[in-house]
C-alpha cells in the first residue's frame, strides 16, 4: 500500500502560479502511474494530468493547454503539478492518486490510492 499526501495548495490571484506536490510513502519500491485530479463544488472529479512510472508518458487535460504540467522525482517519491496563469475556474480540491504498475491510463476510476486533497482557490 502507498500513502499519498498533497501540499502546496492555497489562495492565489488569477494569473498567478502554484506548484502542488504529492509525497508518497509506504510501498514506494513498486512502480506507480501517478495522477492529479480535481473536483470543483457541484462537479464531478476530473482528470488533470497523469504520468507513467518512469515519466516517459504524460497526459495533461487538453483544455488546460500549456498552463499545467506534471513531473515526478522517483528518487524523492514525489509528483508535482505546476499550474501557471491560473483562472478562477481552476478553483477546486486537487487530489493526487496512484495506480500500481507500468501501464498508462487517464481513467480516474482505475486509480487505487488517493490522497486527502489540497484546496486551490483562485480569486479575481
pLDDT digits (tens, 9 = 90+) for 34-83: 999 999 999 999 999 999 999 999 999 999 989 999 999 999 999 999 99
Q: How confident is the model at residue 108 (pLDDT cuts 50, 70, 90)?
A: very high
- Amino acid 66: pLDDT: 95
- Amino acid 94: pLDDT: 98
Task: Write the CA distances from 55 to 62, 64, 85, integer angstroms.
Answer: 18, 19, 24
- Amino acid 63: pLDDT: 95
Average pLDDT over residues 11-36: 96
Q: 94 near 6, Cβ under 8 Å?
A: yes
| Residue 45 φ then ψ, to 5° | -70, 135
CA neighbor of 83 nearest in space, from 56, 121, 117 = 121
Compute the 3-state secondary structure of the chain and give helix, strand, coil in percent, each to the nearest 5. Answer: 5, 50, 40
Average pLDDT over residues 3-21: 98
- Amino acid 82: pLDDT: 98
Amino acid at each position: 500500500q502507498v500513502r499519498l499526501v498533497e501540499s502546496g495548495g492555497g489562495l492565489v490571484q488569477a494569473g498567478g502560479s502554484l506548484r502542488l506536490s504529492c509525497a508518497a510513502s509506504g510501498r514506494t519500491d513498486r512502480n506507480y502511474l501517478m495522477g492529479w485530479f480535481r473536483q470543483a463544488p457541484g462537479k464531478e472529479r476530473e482528470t488533470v494530468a497523469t504520468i507513467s512510472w518512469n515519466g516517459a508518458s504524460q497526459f495533461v487535460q487538453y483544455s488546460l493547454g500549456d498552463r499545467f504540467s506534471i513531473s515526478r522525482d522517483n528518487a524523492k517519491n514525489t509528483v508535482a503539478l505546476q499550474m501557471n496563469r491560473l483562472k478562477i475556474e481552476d478553483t477546486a480540491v486537487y487530489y493526487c492518486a496512484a495506480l500500481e504498475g507500468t501501464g498508462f491510463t487517464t481513467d480516474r476510476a482505475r486509480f487505487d490510492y488517493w490522497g486527502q486533497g489540497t484546496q486551490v482557490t483562485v480569486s479575481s
